[in-house]
């Protein structure tokens, strides 16, 4: 039997052999990990996906239009006295629709219940924008008395003798004197104009007359009052 090789004749020491074996094991483990990672993408699970490509949001517009006969006023008008107005402010001044009629020859009515000499103005409101309004309000200014012409009576409460009626169909928005018309009025929801397209005009009638109790001291007097109509979303 041949002699076993002696430790002295082995060219690789045992320590180096163990180190080489350890390195081979580690290299094998690393190869297995890399292989498993590469196989993960190759052999993935079933998937289902949806991409929403149109996701938008935009604001509408709220534009109040008032008409009386052929006269038209818009909240975003930007001509004349409203040259600085834009949709940013959206609050125009309309001096061409006189809701109290502008008469300078009125006389006291025959009766408070069946008034004569009534001055009536027909108006209508539309929302020509695209957004719906949630409320519609009328905010009056303070009635102011001035002289009408050169001959004037001495009464100082003409606004209390000027009676005002604001209606829309069978709905009474206000009835009373111009002097008492001071607080904001919330107009019923049924009278809020719907937005365009398709929004119909909402008609209103404004009537004024001088109370029958006004005597000679009320001659030659005039009353004026601002009326602010506001749509709000």
The per-residue pLDDT for range 40-87, each reduced to its tens digit, is: 555 679 999 999 999 999 999 999 999 999 999 999 999 999 999 999
**What is the pLDDT confidence band of residue 198, given thresholds at 50, 70 and 90?**
confident
Residue 6 lies in a domain: no
106 and 214, same structural domain? Answer: yes
Same domain membership, residue 164 and residue 222: yes
25 lies in which domain range?
A: 14-41
User: What is residue 9's predicted lDDT score, i.e. its pLDDT?
Assistant: 52
pLDDT > 70 in the chain, percent = 82
Angle in degrees, CA 144, 147, 149, rounded to 5: 145
pLDDT band at residue 11 using 50, 70 and 90 as cut-offs: low
Measure CA 128 to chain center.
Answer: 12
pLDDT band for 135, please (50, 70, 90 cuts). very high
Confidence of residue 25 (pLDDT cuts 50, 70, 90): low
Same domain? 82 vs 25? no
Highest mean pLDDT among 29-33, 34-38, 117-121: 117-121
Kindly state the DSSP code that residue 180 receives in the 8-state scheme: T
Cα–Cα distance between 231 and 75 in angstroms, integer? 10
Q: Does residue 73 share a domain with residue 116?
A: yes
Q: What is the pLDDT of residues 73-85, one digit of tens each?
A: 999 999 999 999 9
| pLDDT tops 70 at residue 207 | yes
What is the number of structural domains in the chain? 2
- Quick one: pLDDT band at residue 115, thresholds 50, 70, 90? confident
Contact 66, 73 (CB under 8 A): yes
Residues 18 and 73 placed together within one structural domain of the fold? no
Between 15 and 146, where is the model more confident?
A: 146
**Does the pLDDT at position 15 exceed 80?**
no
Residues 22 and 100 in one domain: no
Does 175 map to a domain?
yes
Inside any domain, residue 7? no
Which pTM was predicted?
0.79
- Residue 57 inside a domain? The answer is no
Statement to judge: residues 137 and 175 lie in one domain: yes
Same domain as 177, residue 69: yes
Residue 124 has pLDDT above 70, yes or no: yes
Of 219 and 18, the one with more pLDDT: 219
Q: Say if 138 falls within a structural domain.
A: yes
**Gap between the Cα atoms of 147 and 222, Å rounded:** 6
Are 201 and 125 spatial neighbours (Cβ–Cβ below 8 Å)? yes
Instruction: Look at residue 2 and tell me whether its pLDDT is greater than 70.
Output: no
Residue 26 shares a structural domain with residue 137: no
**pLDDT surpassing 90 at residue 226:** yes
Q: What is the 3-state secondary structure (H, E, C) of 181-215?
A: CCCCEECCHHHCCCECCCCCCEEEEEEEEECCCCC
- Tell me: do 18 and 103 sit in the same domain: no
- Mark whether 115 and 84 lie in a shared domain: yes
Q: Are residues 27 and 91 in the same domain?
A: no
Residue 70 lies in a domain: yes
Lowest model confidence (mean pLDDT) among 28-42, 66-80, 134-148: 28-42
Residue 55 belongs to some domain of the structure: no
pLDDT at residue 213, rounded to an integer: 94
125 occurs within a structural domain: yes
Q: What is the pLDDT of residue 110?
A: 78
Mean pLDDT score, 151-159: 98
């Amino acid at each position: 039997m041949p002699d076993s090789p002696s430790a002295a004749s082995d060219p690789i020491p045992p320590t180096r052999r163990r180190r080489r074996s350890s390195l081979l094991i580690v290299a094998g483990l690393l190869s297995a990990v890399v292989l498993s990672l590469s196989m993960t993408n190759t052999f993935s699970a079933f998937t289902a996906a949806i991409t929403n490509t149109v996701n938008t949001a935009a604001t509408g517009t709220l534009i109040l239009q008032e008409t009386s006969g052929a006269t038209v006023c818009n909240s975003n008008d930007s001509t004349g006295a409203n040259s600085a107005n834009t949709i940013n402010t959206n609050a125009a001044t309309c001096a061409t629709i006189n809701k109290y009629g502008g008469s300078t020859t009125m006389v006291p009515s025959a009766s408070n219940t069946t008034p004569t000499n009534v001055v009536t103005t027909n108006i209508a409101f539309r929302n020509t924008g695209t957004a719906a309004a949630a409320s519609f309000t009328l905010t009056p200014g303070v009635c102011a008395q001035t002289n009408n012409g050169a001959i004037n009576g001495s009464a100082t409460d003409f606004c209390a003798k000027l009676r005002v009626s604001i209606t829309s169909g069978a709905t009474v928005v206000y009835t009373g004197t111009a002097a008492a018309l001071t607080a904001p009025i919330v107009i019923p929801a049924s009278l809020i104009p719907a937005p365009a397209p398709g929004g119909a005009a909402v008609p209103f009638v404004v009537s004024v007359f001088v109370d029958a109790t006004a005597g000679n001291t009320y001659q030659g007097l005039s009353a004026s009052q601002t009326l602010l109509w506001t749509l709000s979303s």
